[in-house]
Amino acid sequence: MEALKKNPAWKGRKGPLVLVIMDGVGLGKYREGDAVLDSKMYNLAAIREKSPFTTLKAHGKAVGLPSDEDMGNSEVGHNAMGCGRVFSQGAALVSNAVASGAMFRGTAWRELVDGVNTSGGTLHFIGLFSDGNVHSHLDHLKGMITQAKSDGVKKVRVHTLFDGRDVPETSALLYVDSFEAFLKELSTGGFDARIASGGGRMWITMDRYGADWEMVHRGWDVHVHGEGRRFSSAREAVETYRAETPGVIDQDLKEFVVFQDGRPVGAIEDGDSVVYFNFRGDRALEITAAFEEDGFDKFDRGRRPKVCYAGMMEYDGDLHVPRRYLVSPPAIDRTMGEYLAASGVRTLAISETQKFGHVTYFFNGNRTGKFDEKLENYVEIKSDVLPFEQRPWMKCAEITDYVLEAIPSGKYDFIRLNYPNGDMVGHTGVYEAVVCSLEAMDLQLGRIANAVEAAGGVMLITADHGNSDDMFEHDKKTGAVLLKADGSPRSKTSHSLNPVPCVLYDCGYAGEYKNGTDSLKTGLGISSIAATCIELLGFVPPEGYDSSVLEKR
């Protein structure tokens, strides 16, 4: 990798560039349900009032997703910000592979199918059971099951992870009923396909960054061993849990196992094949490790069946995890981090556990590790292991404490940090907690702004996608808030399709670009953050990078 070219017209700054990513903080379309607007974010407002400002697209095609009806997410958002360009992402790649049939001509699919056809075993599918298109899509699952039948597979079992996060919070039965009908229609001619187990995505299986391995343990016991509370169907499980815990949302539903004739219908046995059908990597790595690693020590797996295991995609390109995958991920190269390391830029990347991988792994183009050990420092602040609505301020103060020491230290030229508050608390659907989380974050923005000003640095504030800006369900035609039976607003726990802010707080401005409050370029996406940071560090952006937001004089 060649070093970046210095910009001779750049006069330089005394202090570092600080990139602040307010995860899940967009600019809302509706007044009602906009927790960002309802929060007393006085510091952000004050910074924005006196600083250049623009909005950036953070969803759909602007971040490599199939259409502009697709919400952005933290994975593709950090990919775009870190690599400065737009790559076709998991959802689009998998959809194309299923539609074209390329997936089913690949070696991995043939090994899965041939294995169970030879052994007489079962083909299992584990993954997020929705069409949210952030981690998975049910159309992909349906396409694979249909193809499995065509390829001679006789028995399929599906292990459902209920969403309620990227889709409406209590929509599980809509998906269960339509999917059961699909399976019933397909189950003819000796083909047998059923739902075997499941639970909420925030209760079983889908942990990330080692935050709570017990989630994965519960999922392993349910999916693999068929050990868990017994029900005759997925519908019965959902209805029972909702009756027992009024107000529970899908992502928090407890585990269930479907039993028939006194036996689980879908325990995983030797000779079976298993597909983890999520295409997004962060919540796929831990369950993959449980299936693949011989020296696994995070929990006692008990009986470990000998299976043919595959992920939907390669979840870690450096470690080559999983060993077998159905669709190749985007080959993201020439990331900003790699260029900065080659140019001698000293970098700090920091967040708490829930988003640590985003400011490191995803920001670096799905790459584990550092580009230069001497130039880069990655800091993880351990997240609390409890529902985020119970501790909505999360670790934003602790992140800030570290950054406040880093800014004046002279050790770093570039500091990037992620505050998870707007996204992680936004996903809970608890409005008051979201407001609390944002106001706590705003206090930290004020602290950082003061430190940046004292150091003569620059602060660039943006977000990876919206969420907390759209907390109620709205009628798509009228915009009216949709109500529950009791007359209260229906909570929305998924990401929004709204743009995100981009605020440039340049305390040492020296005339290199137009600096009015409305002078930043418009119509760009968050992929422009990379070129913007490179310019603010005094370099010329690489060829092929999307335009910086800076408007030249």
Cα distances from 160 to residues 86, 113, 157, 223, 251, in angstroms, run 31, 21, 10, 9, 11
DSSP string, 122-161: -EEEEEE-SS-SSS--HHHHHHHHHHHHHTT--EEEEEEE
Among all residues, which ones are annotated catalytic?
Answer: 74
Whether 395 contacts 381, CB under 8 Å = yes
Tokens in use for 251? 């992502």
DSSP string, 285-303: HHHHHHHH-TT--SS---S
What whole-number distance in Å separates Cα of residue 296 and Cα of residue 273? 20
What whole-number distance in Å separates Cα of residue 91 and Cα of residue 60? 11
Mode of pairing for the β-strands spanning 53-57 and 524-525 = parallel
What whole-number distance in Å separates Cα of residue 184 and Cα of residue 180? 6
Whether 463 contacts 422, CB under 8 Å = yes
Taking each continuous run of H as one helix and of E as one strand, the counts in the chain are 17, 17
Helix, strand, coil fractions of the chain, as percent rounded to 5:
35, 20, 45
- The dihedral over CA atoms of 108, 114, 118, 122, expressed in degrees to the nearest 10, equals 70
Q: Which residues pair with 351 in a beta bridge?
A: 380
Residue 88 DSSP class: -
Beta strands in 31-122 (DSSP E): 53-57
What whole-number distance in Å separates Cα of residue 205 and Cα of residue 202? 8
Please classify residue 243 by burial: count the beta carbons closer than 10 Å to its beta carbon, then call 0-12 exposed, 13-18 middle and 19+ buried.
exposed
Sign of the dihedral through C-alpha 505, 527, 469, 73 = negative
What whole-number distance in Å separates Cα of residue 24 and Cα of residue 465? 5
What is the total residue count of the chain?
A: 553
What whole-number distance in Å separates Cα of residue 327 and Cα of residue 361? 19
Residue type, 42: Y
Q: How many CB atoms lie under 10 A from the CB of residue 388?
A: 24
CA 377 to chain centre: 23
Residue of 497, 484, 352 lying closest to 425 (CA atoms): 352
Whether 445 contacts 461, CB under 8 Å = yes
Whether 392 contacts 432, CB under 8 Å = no
